[in-house]
Amino acid sequence: MWNTISPYLASFALAVMIISLVLTLYQVARYFRTNRDVRRAWYRARGRMMFGIFLIAFSFNQIIQFTNLVTYLICAVLIVFAAANISYGVRAMRYFEQHFAAEDRAWAELEKEKKA
């Protein structure tokens, strides 16, 4: 049974890898394009979270394709690192979302001072 379902699981893992890698690159691009500090940190946190998802999908794909002890050990380390990235990303996103209003007010004041 495992041999019949493993290609589908590998394909799903590959699709998740591609989607999360594209979203990671998108968040990094948004990070470099914005000049607001809180938004930059928020985009970086989202990028880390997407990279963590990529690492988990990559590890899962490797475990499906290569079934030996070395692969399991390396993938276990990658999964722990990915979980740390996802955890940090979620906590940082929640923290920085609280400061969006203050940043918007500060930027509005700055724009008003530039016009005056």
Determine the structural domain holding residue 110 and report its residue range.
Answer: 1-114
- With vertex at residue 62, the alpha carbon angle to CA 22 and CA 58, rounded to the nearest 5 degrees, is 20
Q: Give the chain's domain count.
A: 1
pTM reported for the whole predicted model: 0.85
Q: What is the pLDDT of residues 53-86, one digit of tens each?
A: 999 999 999 988 888 899 999 999 999 999 999 9
In tens, the pLDDT along 11-68 reads 888 999 999 999 999 999 999 999 888 899 999 999 999 999 999 999 999 988 888 8
